[in-house]
Structure 1
């Protein structure tokens, strides 16, 4: 009896010592062999693709259950980092909302290096349009994109028909885009039609400059932006586009100017497709006939080169079910997951022929071949690349963009200011 008691005491001491030193036993297997994976995400109620993805995966993996953990959208990456930094091993699958947040998670070793899994599972990274190269850290990938919105040109067919001008094409240089915008500008006052429209985000102008692949927005030198600012400010001066300061002070939303037939062309993200279709269906816009074409490009740059943002999935380093978690990540970020996402009207990261067919078959999507072809991208550059000081740099770029577009500073002086202030940030 004394021996039994002694053994029990020793076991308790060993277990207690283990927990005191931060070690944890592996999660016990369910008697039925089931595995529950916890997926950290945001906005369950308003996101249409979570449930279909989970339902489809569980249908082919009956012993796996996916449990959603909604951390809210406003401070999602901060909340996620806090939980993972605290050693929370209950989170298995991690949704990565933005590039600065991704960088922070990688720096703190909170995400699993996926390279070995990608290799063993023969995952073709080329299908993500070059975005995975842009989020690799020292050759290692910690997330795989499953959503990827990208920039296109929306245009109003009725306005082009009325002006008897041929529609824009899927292969326009910036010079051709500018010329077409000028040709489509007409009228005055309430009857004024603007040839193009730029929303007040800096990305609507600055990121034209990175499409040639020679520069990024975090380089620290910004002289390459000069011709694009010149083009847009000249359009503004000549009344081809609406005044930036007026748009800013009135908080005018880009959708409003397109809805009321006052804009012939507008560069905007693919997220606007489903919204526009919905508004037309509900009779909340004057626009009836519209189309899409690929983003304009610099001379020598392939048509279909564009800008984008990505949402990725990763595996928590603290997860005790990494293999199962990666299998779910592989499903969501793969071809089958992409088709499920596309059926909800959302643009997935993979845009193969089947995905494009699904999106183009949505009720209300333009029926012309050019609009369908516009969905095919050649290369997508991230709006904000992976950089540890991206947040600080963006503050400067936003501020100086405002000053240039409101003519409070000249283009040359503004670019010099960007160079000086960003280089100070980079040298810290």
Structure 2
């Protein structure tokens, strides 16, 4: 409980609790969900349960695959009624979920993505799931393989993996054809990636087209270097001065400064985003997750008209074996404050184990390995315009995966400190040496508190 209160205080200190009221896309009032209004949702549920009606559980998410799977679950489980609430897919989504989880509100199933889950596991926000897992005989390794670790903290499970993303280099085949530049190979190296990006930038400079694009997400600069770099020293201290990280940072700044890609500061200033930038024809290549396939299906919002190819990530250097991808995973957890943990667990298992095709159809990667089959790749690509042969790369069991997310002691703080310091380096406000010194000092201070 003390950790949870501390976590909430950190949000408040950062000014994150302001402006989180209002309605979600589904029309659910955030203040009502947190206990405001004449009658709270929880009070209404208690009356319904007392009358022998189904237990209502509330699921919030910013990426609902299809309402039909919710309807199917409700039909198959008449004692439970799942109500889904869509929240905006913007930078405030996690803050809204945090408040709902910690306020004693009505949320029973909480999605958390891309490494953000570990701080929440440690805070006590989510209920441990080990008793459910053991009772049901769920083999986490057999069911989720490489994704299982994303639901763990300190040897306990607090989340069940349900969707994932793997990174590739998407490229505009039409631009490459016009430029007379060979398509990226699946065995290329970082040096070859840089050379290709420069060729495409030179071709596109008079048209306002960049050679490639790297976004401003925390540690996005590290997706390739993660094949070689280590975040911690052997004695558990900050290892940001690992040569691999230095090379990656220098490479990002070099490509920015020479105009090969849109500079970090410009991306922030114009609020550029990966999907609309690449699908809008503003660069020849982009380093992006498999989730971009989801946006390629949305032709109303992204009406692109060119052919897209996908290559594996470049290898950091010749010593690294391929093929390579960067990955991260989203999990479903049950808030400690939920009054319906048993029912929430039943829904999570149904969603994860029975709805992989729905997840694939939405352009996301399912994490439940027993559900994988050739048809799933077709479902994943359908409607996107992406050739199935490219889509198969995201389902390749032989690809070697690493992650740019920091999964370890003070991982969330490590990434936040890095983002704060590194953006000053990218914007020319600090030298690389100053940047690395500051990160090392600040992260080691956090580690010393453990």
TM-score w.r.t. structure 2 length? 0.73
Structure 1 pair 120–395 and aligned structure 2 pair: CA distance change class (3 A): closer
Secondary structure of the corresponding residue to residue 306 of structure 2: coil
Structure 1 pair 168–326 and aligned structure 2 pair: CA distance change class (3 A): same
Structure 1 pair 175–311 and aligned structure 2 pair: CA distance change class (3 A): same
CA contact (8 A) 1:115 1:140 kept: no
CA offset at residue 302 of structure 1?
3.8
Query: Is 1:402 aligned to residue 430 of structure 2?
Result: no
Matches for 1:46-61 after TM superposition, within 5 Å = 47-49=63-65, 51-61=67-77
Partner of 2:357: 339
Separation (CA, whole Å) in 1 of partners of 2:56 and 2:212: 47
Partner residue of 1:203 out of 203, 213, 219: 219
Partner residue of 1:417 out of 420, 433, 438: 438
Partner of 2:310: 292
CA offset at residue 315 of structure 1?
3.5
TM-score w.r.t. structure 1 length? 0.77
CA offset at residue 38 of structure 1?
0.8
Secondary structure of the corresponding residue to residue 332 of structure 2: strand
Structure 1 residues 258-308: Cα deviation after superposition (integer angstroms, max 9, x where no partner): 2443422110222222223424x66744x4111222222334244243132
Q: Which one scores higher on RCO, CA 8 angstroms, separation ≥ 6?
A: 1
Partner of 2:12: none
CA offset at residue 222 of structure 1?
0.6
CA contact (8 A) 2:126 2:336 kept: yes
Partner of 2:17: none
Query: Is 1:266 aligned to residue 286 of structure 2?
Result: yes
CA contact (8 A) 2:60 2:107 kept: no
Unaligned residue ranges in structure 2 (runs of 5+): 1-45
Structure 1 pair 385–77 and aligned structure 2 pair: CA distance change class (3 A): farther
Separation (CA, whole Å) in 2 of partners of 1:238 and 1:146: 40
Partner residue of 2:331 out of 312, 335, 342: 312
CA offset at residue 382 of structure 1?
5.1
- Pairs aligned (count): 390
Unaligned residue ranges in structure 1 (runs of 5+): 1-26
Partner residue of 1:66 out of 58, 82, 94: 82
CA offset at residue 139 of structure 1?
1.6
Separation (CA, whole Å) in 2 of partners of 1:108 and 1:140: 12
Separation (CA, whole Å) in 2 of partners of 1:306 and 1:188: 28
Structure 1 pair 248–343 and aligned structure 2 pair: CA distance change class (3 A): closer
Partner of 1:372: 392
Structure 1 pair 260–369 and aligned structure 2 pair: CA distance change class (3 A): same
Separation (CA, whole Å) in 2 of partners of 1:150 and 1:170: 15
CA contact (8 A) 2:121 2:153 kept: no
Separation (CA, whole Å) in 2 of partners of 1:65 and 1:148: 26
Matches for 1:220-369 after TM superposition, within 5 Å = 220-224=238-242, 225-279=245-299, 284-285=303-304, 287-298=305-316, 299-308=319-328, 310-317=329-336, 322-334=341-353, 336-350=354-368, 352-353=372-373, 354-360=375-381, 362-367=382-387, 369=389
| RMSD of aligned residue pairs (Cα, Å) | 3.6
CA contact (8 A) 1:142 1:314 kept: yes
CA contact (8 A) 2:179 2:203 kept: no
Query: Is 1:38 aligned to residue 54 of structure 2?
Result: no
